A and B are shown apart, each in its own frame.
Chain A
Amino acid sequence: MLWDYDDVTIRNFGRMKAYRRHFDAGGKMYLSEGTIIVASQEQVSCNLGAEAAILNLKNGVYYGLDPVGARVWNLLQQPRTFAELRDILITEYDVDAARLESDMLDLLSRLAGNQLVEISG
């Protein structure tokens, strides 16, 4: 996996339900090249050196992203298509396209599942 990810909550209730629209029956995320992704309005985040922390204001859960995840997160501060995001990252990291797309889907799936990004199209 290209990135590492963790989270912590100071609340006692469980996670919010994941978006279902962009997930198949097996729970795997699918996005088209033109799908637009952007950081949710219902969060605040900050950079911690090359890493980042995000707070979901809806459920009070904090998330931490490693440098690669933080780079993706910073790119998502403005709306980007899946293809645009992939094309930027492929120039920045030494990784083949298939692996990158798979890892992107994994991270975006986690971000979407925790309502940290909005996905349209």
Chain B
Amino acid sequence: MTGSGACAMREPAAALTGACPHLYGVYGIALHSEIPLALPGPEPGELARIELRTAPAPFFSDAIQGVPLEQLSGSWYEFGRLPDRSSYARWTGVGEFLVSGDGRQVVCRQFDVATTESFHVYLLGQALSFALVKSGFEPLHATVVVIDGEGVAFLGESRFGKSSLAASFLEAGYKMLTDDLLMLQATTSRVLAYPGPPRIKLFPKTARRFLSDAAAGIRMNPDTEKLILPLDPKRSCSVPVPMKAVYSLAGPREVFRKQAVRSEPLSPRRAFLELIKNTFNHRILDADRLERQLHQTARLVGLMPVRKLSFPRVWNQLPSVREAIISDLGRQALKAAACGD
């Protein structure tokens, strides 16, 4: 799964000959980049290398000439599959991306109207997910905090409260591992979770409540109030951690306002389906990818507990949800220890 000499990789067009002077580490990947990014340097033991280049508009228009683009009704996202297995994606007002068939190169262009921060969110999330899947990984849509040196992930659709819950952990001094895209790697006996970009996306109200420097946030895009907030090293974890548990959040409509926090284990098949539902990339659907996803996900289910978490969506009660989660983890650890005895 690893490559070598990222800057010497196959190039989709002769024009892309510039150097990649920046080297970063994110999601366990070494990212050789033509552009500066707000990321730390790579950790030893990279899972893969990906090259990130920029290109002007004609490069993309040439590449997608004659390629039908898919667009869901009302969506500002367009996607196309090129004959050479490359994937093209474009977000209106943000930028466009071309990911090579082997996943080792991402070519990007930031649109003039986009802020750099917003562009980087899409680049290091949606666009990079194509490269990760093509490289043989199965990233999940999840937010992860670090508790006692182990990762605790929250799964759920947008607006289910993953980041808000994570913010309540930040307030209590816990670190964030990743917000949005989660890279997991199963070893023989455990699952490792890899750090994402050191930032969190929050609505202003939640940011003001849980983070003292909410004013530093930059709006993600014109269609949302959500802010991108950078996290300093005191609040972000930059090394891989073993996974402790996954909580799949019940949707806001599934819970009552006055309901108590409830956590229950999911059977292996339900855990499997929750992980599948929360795949980060829904667009790559060839049989090889799906079969790999089945087996990788089955392996994860055997190595880490997946639980359903229901809690009232009253944001000023999030600290008590946080404490309930910590208690729940303690109970599960005691049970596991008792079973080990």
Cβ–Cβ contact B291 & A55, under 8 A = yes
Cβ–Cβ contact A12 & B72, under 8 A = yes
Would you give the 0/1 interface string for A42-73, flagging 1 where the beta carbon is closer than 8 Å to chain B? Answer: 00111011111101010010101110000000
Contact of B287 with A by CB under 8 A: yes
Cβ–Cβ contact A64 & B269, under 8 A = yes
Chain B residues whose C-beta falls within 8 Å of the C-beta of A60 in the assembled complex: 285, 290
Chain A residues whose C-beta falls within 8 Å of the C-beta of B271 in the assembled complex: 48
Cβ–Cβ contact A53 & B285, under 8 A = no
Q: In chain A between 9 and 32, which residues have their CB closer than 8 angstroms to a CB of chain B?
A: 10-12
Cβ–Cβ contact A48 & B269, under 8 A = yes
Cβ–Cβ contact B268 & A49, under 8 A = yes
Residue in B269, B279, B294 whose Cβ sees the most chain A Cβ within 10 Å: B269
Contact of A92 with B by CB under 8 A: no
Cβ–Cβ contact B267 & A66, under 8 A = yes
Chain B residues whose C-beta falls within 8 Å of the C-beta of A96 in the assembled complex: none
Interface residues of B (CB under 8 A from A): 72, 267-273, 276-277, 279, 282, 285, 287, 290-291, 293-295, 297-298, 301-302
Cβ–Cβ contact A51 & B279, under 8 A = no
Q: How far is B298's CA from A57's CA once the two chains are assembled, in angstroms?
A: 16
Chain A residues whose C-beta falls within 8 Å of the C-beta of B297 in the assembled complex: 53
When the two chains form the complex, which single residue of B277, B285, B287, B302 contacts A11, counting CB atoms closer than 8 Å? B285
Cβ–Cβ contact A62 & B273, under 8 A = yes
Cβ–Cβ contact A53 & B269, under 8 A = yes
Report the nearest A residue to B274, measured CB to CB.
Answer: A8
When the two chains form the complex, which single residue of A11, A44, A52 contacts B269, counting CB atoms closer than 8 Å? A52
Contact of A6 with B by CB under 8 A: yes
Cβ–Cβ contact B301 & A48, under 8 A = yes
23 A/B residue pairs, CB under 8 Å, sorted by A: A6-B270, A8-B273, A8-B277, A10-B285, A12-B72, A44-B294, A45-B294, A46-B294, A46-B298, A48-B269, A48-B271, A48-B301, A51-B267, A51-B269, A52-B269, A53-B269, A53-B294, A55-B290, A55-B291, A55-B293, A55-B294, A62-B294, A64-B270
Distance in Å: Cβ of B242 to nearest Cβ of chain A:
21
Report the nearest A residue to B276, measured CB to CB.
Answer: A62
Report the nearest B residue to A69, measured CB to CB.
Answer: B269
Q: How far is B287's CA from A8's CA once the two chains are assembled, in angstroms?
A: 16
Residue in A6, A12, A46 whose Cβ sees the most chain B Cβ within 10 Å: A46
- The B interface is mostly helix, strand or loop, or mixed, namely helix
Chain B residues whose C-beta falls within 8 Å of the C-beta of A49 in the assembled complex: 268, 302
Interface residues of A (CB under 8 A from B): 6-8, 10-12, 44-46, 48-53, 55, 57, 60, 62, 64-66
Say yes or no: A48-B276 contact (C-beta < 8 A), given A53-B269, A66-B269: no
With A46-B298, A64-B269 known, 18 other A-B pairs at CB within 8 A are: A6-B273, A7-B273, A10-B279, A10-B285, A44-B294, A46-B294, A48-B272, A48-B298, A49-B302, A51-B269, A53-B297, A57-B287, A57-B291, A60-B285, A60-B290, A64-B270, A65-B269, A66-B267
Cβ–Cβ contact A64 & B273, under 8 A = yes
Cβ–Cβ contact B276 & A10, under 8 A = yes
Q: How far is B296's CA from A55's CA once the two chains are assembled, in angstroms?
A: 13
Cβ–Cβ contact B269 & A46, under 8 A = no
Residue in B268, B271, B287 whose Cβ sees the most chain A Cβ within 10 Å: B268
Chain A residues whose C-beta falls within 8 Å of the C-beta of B291 in the assembled complex: 44, 55, 57
Say yes or no: A57-B269 contact (C-beta < 8 A), given A8-B276, A12-B72, A46-B298: no
Chain B residues whose C-beta falls within 8 Å of the C-beta of A51 in the assembled complex: 267-269
Chain A residues whose C-beta falls within 8 Å of the C-beta of B294 in the assembled complex: 44-46, 53, 55, 62
Distance in Å: Cβ of B298 to nearest Cβ of chain A:
4
Distance in Å: Cβ of A83 to nearest Cβ of chain B:
28
Cβ–Cβ contact A57 & B272, under 8 A = no
Chain A residues whose C-beta falls within 8 Å of the C-beta of B276 in the assembled complex: 8, 10, 62
Chain A residues whose C-beta falls within 8 Å of the C-beta of B267 in the assembled complex: 51, 66
Cβ–Cβ contact A48 & B268, under 8 A = yes
Report the nearest A residue to B301, measured CB to CB.
Answer: A48
Report the nearest A residue to B72, measured CB to CB.
Answer: A12
Cβ–Cβ contact B273 & A57, under 8 A = no
Cβ–Cβ contact B282 & A53, under 8 A = no
Chain A residues whose C-beta falls within 8 Å of the C-beta of B282 in the assembled complex: 10-12
Residue in A7, A48, A64 whose Cβ sees the most chain B Cβ within 10 Å: A48
Say yes or no: A53-B298 contact (C-beta < 8 A), given A12-B72, A48-B269, A64-B270: yes
